Amino acid sequence: MAVKWYKIYDFEEDGYEPQQLYSVRTIDVKGKLLCLGRLPEGYVAVDDKCPHGAGGRLGMGKCDEHGIVTCPIHRYRYDLKTGKGLQSDYVNNYEVETRYDGVYIGIKQKNWWPF
């Protein structure tokens, strides 16, 4: 699968630290809601919707100093770096790159050609 990159922060417009350490927020990338977190090692992203059924938004949760985000509804917890849940489930994680001009997120694109 090919990866398409989307610029989510532009350092010229947003500054060089547009998000605080250990914070999470919901971002919309072409209609796909993602939870974007900032850790000392950089930005990380996972699906925004918690899979526990109530549809909690991880971007409205809290992130601790270990990079674990807690869902605001049922307190399910996920590692922002891997997407692995502490309760044995998971959320998808996404590639994030910090480049000279901003922060980019990679979304895998389905190939339309079957060969």
Domain boundaries, the chain: 2-108
Please give the torsion angle defined by the CA atoms of residues 67, 21, 64 and 39, in that order, rounded to the nearest 10 degrees: 10
Residues ≥6 apart with Cβ < 8 Å to 88:
none
Structure tokens at 30: 């072409």
pLDDT of amino acid 2? 86
Q: Rounded to whole angstroms, how far apart are CA atoms 57 and 63? A: 13
Decide: 89 and 48 in contact? Cβ < 8 Å.
Answer: no
CATH H superfamily, domain 2-108: Rieske [2Fe-2S] iron-sulphur domain (2.102.10.10)
| pTM (predicted TM-score) | 0.90
**Which whole number is the average pLDDT over 59-79?**
95
Q: For residue range 7-66, list pLDDT tens digits in order.
A: 999 999 999 999 999 999 999 999 999 999 999 999 999 999 998 878 899 999 999 999
